[in-house]
Structure 1
Amino acid sequence: MKWYEVIIKTTEEAQDAICEMLSSIGAAGSSIEDPNEIKREILKKDSLDYADEEFINTLGNTVVIKSYFSQEKDISKIVDLINEKLLFIKKFLDTGEGFAGYFEVDEEDWSTSWKKYYKPFHISDKMVIKPSWEVYYKKDDEIVIELDPGMAFGTGTHETTSMCAMLLEKYTNKGDRVIDVGCGSGILSIIASKLGASHVTALDIDEVAVKITKENSIINKVENVHAVKGVLTDIEKIKSDLIVANIIADVITGLSSDIPFYLKEGGIFITSGIIKERKQEVIDEYRKKAFTLEEVLEQGEWVAIVFRCPNSL
């Protein structure tokens, strides 16, 4: 079977939003080539790889997303829709060059080749992310999350997901009621459940994300994760102990008025998906609403912030 491979050249900031957009309009999968990840790995103090400055500079900063659509679809309509959606995303994020063309490819060239690069890894000292097709033997008190992410949703390798996972491990208490806003593959919802949460509501505006979250919850045998299509204000105002939102700064600041209606007094709000340049903007917005700043983590160009909810409204 042949597919259309659509190429989008963008920025690290916009890659997650664009991948979710592509999935929502019918992409069978997307892969990301991010030179920034390569540079960060090379520049790590404990890296075994070495490259001189000239080579690192040749990598550039452009993120290339390759997305795949069935040839049963009208490619001209797909391209028009992609450009329309990119214009919308551009209102909030720097989308870079944008649409860069498409090609015909055979299914075997892309549908499974990406899996060989995805191996079990520690997302924190205690938690291990394991793709469903890999074998991993659990050690001591490790928590293993088995994930079959497809190709367009979070695998846990991104800094924002990793920081949220570490913060969930720190702040989640047994019996907590948790809401995951923008659940993607469901990884953070599943982590919260495995850390002892009694009830997890996983929210996403993308019905494909909701479907994948449900499937991953079944794989991990967690029955208390309830995936729902929608935004925070679509669900009943039942107070939770913790809310996690790994999205973008604009949405996070927009949630500041709604969070207290869904979070207990003194409850924890963990949020990420924020680039460093917008960290203070988010902090200032929540301080205006009387939230207490508990903690800030930074990895690469990304920030995760923990707030404590003020008195009930």
Structure 2
Amino acid sequence: MDYFELSLSVEPDFSEILMAELAEIGFDSFIETDEGLQAYVLESEFQERSLKALMENYADKTPLSYSLKKIEKQNWNKEWESNFSPIEVLNKVYIRATFHEPAAEKFDHEIIITPKMSFGTGHHETTSQMMELQLEIDHNQKSVLDVGTGTGILAILAAKLGATKIHSFDIDEWSVENTIENIQLNDTDLITIELGTIDSQKTEVYDIVLANINRNILLEEIPKYATFTRDYLLLSGFYEHDITDIQQKAEDNGLKKIKHISKNNWAAVVFKKH
């Protein structure tokens, strides 16, 4: 299935909030540029009327311009190769693509990602902060559920941290294909992956549940995540000012906030089962 590519020129102060707004109307992958950002949405998920309304709303607040074009599936890697540079997480995890030089000897863990059209390379604050929180939690011999896995990066880190049972899923067929490829690249074959939603998952309890999605979906699905976790729930994909709502929903379902971190207004939170 093809994607639409939105090229948006906007002031840096508005780039982050527009990324969140676009995620609310179906855009699921982003590249930050010198001019603003590029955002991608599946053709089947594209809401032209919602996009126009969003652009008109923010045009009253800041100068912006945008263009839209269809991008074929096979051209995605070219886009990423020109924009994807290696990153580090807490000087412990090194994330690179196949065309970058290895640096495993300098880090505790190295993760190789071929992103295709999937969200989750560690570049965005939500992903990197989820990884930071993962590094603080004992994964050894634990079971992990990765909700909306994207590239599989969080599941792969869980495997490298010693988890012995890891299941991941995504609603996007391309994300599933991409995760399979990244699992193989990282020799983490213990990870299982399927196409689906939280509602399609077999009822099972995991030590750790990971979900980096967006505010509205999280608020809707936290009660379901609570039934899947025995111990920890790690969430991201929302702003600092959303923490209150997220926390209230979690507390209503037997979860207690034990920590949150934030960067550039994006937040990530750890909850623990009572």
TM-score (norm 1): 0.71
Report whether the alignment pairs 1:145 with 2:152.
Answer: no
* Aligned pair partner of 2:195 in 220, 226, 229: 229
The 5 A counterparts of 1:151-170 are 151-170=117-136
**CA–CA distance in structure 1, aligned partners of residues 57 and 233 of structure 2:** 28
**Partner of 1:7 in structure 2?**
6
**Partner of 2:242 in structure 1?**
278
**CA–CA distance in structure 2, aligned partners of residues 249 and 259 of structure 1:** 14
Report whether the alignment pairs 1:295 with 2:259.
Answer: yes
Shift of 1:173: 2.1
Q: Which of 1 and 2 has greater Rg?
A: 1
C-alpha contact (below 8 Å) 1:177/1:198 kept by paired residues:
yes
**Partner of 1:48 in structure 2?**
none
Shift of 1:191: 0.6
**CA–CA distance in structure 2, aligned partners of residues 239 and 130 of structure 1:** 32
- Structure 2: give runs of 5+ residues left out of the alignment: 9-14
Report whether the alignment pairs 1:204 with 2:170.
Answer: yes
Amino acid at match of 1:302: W
Percent sequence identity over aligned pairs:
22
From the superposition, tell whether residues 215 and 305 of structure 1 become closer, same or farther in structure 2 (CA, over 3 Å).
same
**Partner of 1:41 in structure 2?**
none
**Partner of 2:11 in structure 1?**
none
From the superposition, tell whether residues 177 and 152 of structure 1 become closer, same or farther in structure 2 (CA, over 3 Å).
closer
The 5 A counterparts of 1:24-103 are 32-34=31-33, 63-65=36-38, 81-83=46-48, 86=51, 100-102=66-68
Shift of 1:148: 0.7
**Partner of 1:43 in structure 2?**
none
From the superposition, tell whether residues 282 and 218 of structure 1 become closer, same or farther in structure 2 (CA, over 3 Å).
same
**CA–CA distance in structure 1, aligned partners of residues 57 and 152 of structure 2:** 25
Report whether the alignment pairs 1:261 with 2:236.
Answer: no
Shift of 1:85: 7.1
Cα RMSD for the two superposed structures = 3.6
**CA–CA distance in structure 1, aligned partners of residues 171 and 87 of structure 2:** 28
Amino acid at match of 2:145: I
- Structure 1: give runs of 5+ residues left out of the alignment: 21-29, 36-58, 70-77
Shift of 1:170: 1.0
C-alpha contact (below 8 Å) 1:295/1:307 kept by paired residues:
yes
Shift of 1:272: 0.4
Q: Give the number of equivalent residue pairs.
A: 259
**CA–CA distance in structure 2, aligned partners of residues 131 and 206 of structure 1:** 21
